Amino acid sequence: MPATDFRIEEALAQWQPRHLVGGELLAQGAPFGVVDPSSGEVFAECPEAGVEELDCAVSSARVAWHGWKAQPLEKRRAVLHTFAAALEEAAPLIAPLLSREQGKPLSQAEMELKVSGTHIRHLSSLPLEDELLRKDDRGAVVLNWRPLGVVGGISPWNFPVALAMHKVAQALYTGNTLVLKPSPYTPLATLAVAEVAKDIFPAGVLNVLAGGNAFGAGMTAHAGIDKISFTGSVATGKRVMESASATLKRITLELGGNDAAIVLENADLDVTAAALARSAFYNCGQICMAVKRIYAHEAVHDELAVRIAEKARALKVGSAFEEGVEMGPVQNRMQYEKVLSLLDDSKSREGATVLAGGGALDRPGYFIAPTVITGLDDTAPLVAEEQFGPVIPIVRVRNAEEAVERANAGNLGLGGSIWGRDGARCAELARQLDCGTAWINRHGVNDSDVPFGGMKESGYGREHGVMGLHSYMELQAINAIPPGN
Ligand code: NAD
């Protein structure tokens, strides 16, 4: 066993995962098993919080809110920057845990933790000021942005820490307090981060509890929570919206995507193939805004497919702690079976050709070979639905117009991209894509100052940027009579 793997066993033997509630670390709740996707075996136990712990966390967050929202913005920013630095410092300690529960290579887990620190710093540096709407003989109107109160954050298992930290930064910077629930598949690294946060934030400002799906449903129905910031699947997002309606909670939903990349006849194939392969296979294809289908002009389709297949074959697949590994397993059995079933269906279709990969690896755990498949049309579920795994279909199209029409079909609209040498043409096509972010000659770039979210069933509202911060706030218009009246 490699040295890093050994150290994590030792560390786990000494470390007890605990919830952070009201500034205290608690191990309440029956333990549930956390599975290592590289082996398919339970490697750690985590306490599962229930209704009582949720009530306690919400009450603590409510009490803490009054003090936290009264802090000047600069003070909240400074505390978040201190937290970002502490998180970056703790990255080497927490990364093995993140790798172990999520499956991603150790270097990528370290990167996720470091990038989380950067995002916290950037999000909590955005300008956040009242706006003077107008001042004239009708009076002065100021738009006053106020925190909502207690936010409930619910996160998924693909980037457990990064996606949770986006919520921490946005909710706390805007003067709210937070009750955060990581995915039950990957609760441990987020609980470890909560320990780092414990003495940095005043008690109750940040609460982190490991809980299952029922716990999440409890949050969405809880009368003491004012907003839900949810990242996860479309199906669960719809449940969140329905449940939140009983108390008219504010909601932001960051949901699934089936991003299309459209490759034009004049695209730079070297650059395009490398970038598309990176997007399709990074994090084992488990990224909401990964390229999930490629529509390639018939003039470049074959060459592009060959080049992407070469990249796929060259990827070193293995467990997080193996030397030089670039792609790990699918994170959980359910997702692994879903991706394999999409692949089996695709392979059975007339005209389908597997250019790289094509199935599960013959080893324990949830490993699937990076797979490139051509010859499918949009009736194949692998093209029409979100696969969320390391299998990319490349589809031949006659022209860009056809590609845009096919990219826009379907219920999802998170992201999309256009690849070509003519900037004006690319920009014109990008505007025609029905998605929250349209990239040109890049895909999946996600900056803290740029509002991010989905059209159609890919989401509701936006996170990031000042617009995203405002979604954690309530707008009050202050309307004063003109002076002298
Ligand atoms: P999921 O919907 O199964 O679970 C997400 C979270 O919701 C988990 O913490 C889960 O415990 C909780 N949950 C489950 N049922 C609930 C309920 N009834 N009420 C409240 N919470 C509940 O999603 P997942 O499988 O963990 O994540 C994968 C999905 O997330 C993919 O579709 C992916 O595209 C999407 N995703 C979207 C973004 C984005 O920013 N748009 C980012 C990452 C992942």
pLDDT digits (tens, 9 = 90+) for 422-463: 999 999 999 999 999 999 999 999 999 999 999 999 999 999
> 325 CA distance to ligand 1 centroid (A)?
27
Residue 452 lies in a domain: no
Ligand 1 touching residue 233 (CB < 6 A) = yes
Residue 2 lies in a domain: no
pLDDT digits (tens, 9 = 90+) for 295-316: 999 999 999 999 999 999 999 9
pLDDT of residue 7: 61
Residues 388-410 have a mean pLDDT of 98
Ligand 1: which residue has its CA nearest to atom 15? 213
pLDDT of residue 27: 97
> 213 CA distance to ligand 1 centroid (A)?
10
CATH number at residue 292: 3.40.309.10
Residues 355 and 318 in one domain: yes
Q: Answer for the pair 368, 390: CB distance below 8 angstroms, yes or no.
A: yes
Ligand 1: which residue has its CA nearest to atom 13? 213
* pLDDT for residue 2 is more than 50: no
Confidence category of residue 483, pLDDT binned at 50, 70, 90 = confident
> 231 CA distance to ligand 1 centroid (A)?
5
Ligand 1 touching residue 256 (CB < 6 A) = yes
Is 254 one of the catalytic residues? yes
Q: Tokens in use for 355?
A: 């250019």
Ligand 1 touching residue 158 (CB < 6 A) = yes
pLDDT digits (tens, 9 = 90+) for 39-54: 999 999 999 999 999 9
Ligand 1: which residue has its CA nearest to atom 42? 288
Residues 374 and 337 in one domain: yes
When divided into structural domains, the chain yields a total of 2
Residues 187 and 210 in one domain: yes
Residues 203 and 329 in one domain: no
Residues 302 and 338 in one domain: yes
Cβ burial, residue 371 (10 Å; 0-12/13-18/19+) = buried
Ligand 1 touching residue 254 (CB < 6 A) = yes
Residues 271 and 404 in one domain: yes
pLDDT digits (tens, 9 = 90+) for 131-152: 999 999 999 999 999 999 999 9
Residues 423 and 465 in one domain: no
Residues 269 and 311 in one domain: yes
Ligand 1 touching residue 413 (CB < 6 A) = no
The percent of residues in the chain predicted with pLDDT above 90, rounded, is 96
pLDDT digits (tens, 9 = 90+) for 315-364: 999 999 999 999 999 999 999 999 999 999 999 999 999 999 999 999 99
Residues 257 and 307: their CA atoms lie apart, in Å, by 25
Residues 198-207 have a mean pLDDT of 98
> 462 CA distance to ligand 1 centroid (A)?
16
CA angle 394, 398, 401 (to 5 degrees): 100
Ligand 1 touching residue 239 (CB < 6 A) = yes
Residue 485 lies in a domain: no
Residues 183 and 332 in one domain: no
Q: Answer for the pair 233, 254: CB distance below 8 angstroms, yes or no.
A: no
pLDDT of residue 3: 41
Ligand 1 touching residue 190 (CB < 6 A) = no
pLDDT of residue 22: 98
* pLDDT for residue 4 is more than 70: no
Residues 131 and 278 in one domain: no
Confidence category of residue 8, pLDDT binned at 50, 70, 90 = low
Confidence category of residue 482, pLDDT binned at 50, 70, 90 = confident
Residues 247 and 267 in one domain: no
Residues 199 and 215 in one domain: yes
> 465 CA distance to ligand 1 centroid (A)?
22
How large is the C-alpha radius of gyration of the chain? 23
> 159 CA distance to ligand 1 centroid (A)?
11
Of 425, 444, 421, nearest to 271 by C-alpha is 421
Confidence category of residue 484, pLDDT binned at 50, 70, 90 = confident
Which of 48, 53, 110, 254 is catalytic? The answer is 254
Is the whole-model pTM more than 0.85?
Answer: yes
Q: What is the atom index within ligand 1 of the atom nearest the CA of 235? A: 2
Residue 96 lies in a domain: yes
Ligand 1 touching residue 213 (CB < 6 A) = yes
Range of the domain at 401: 259-447
CATH number at residue 95: 3.40.605.10
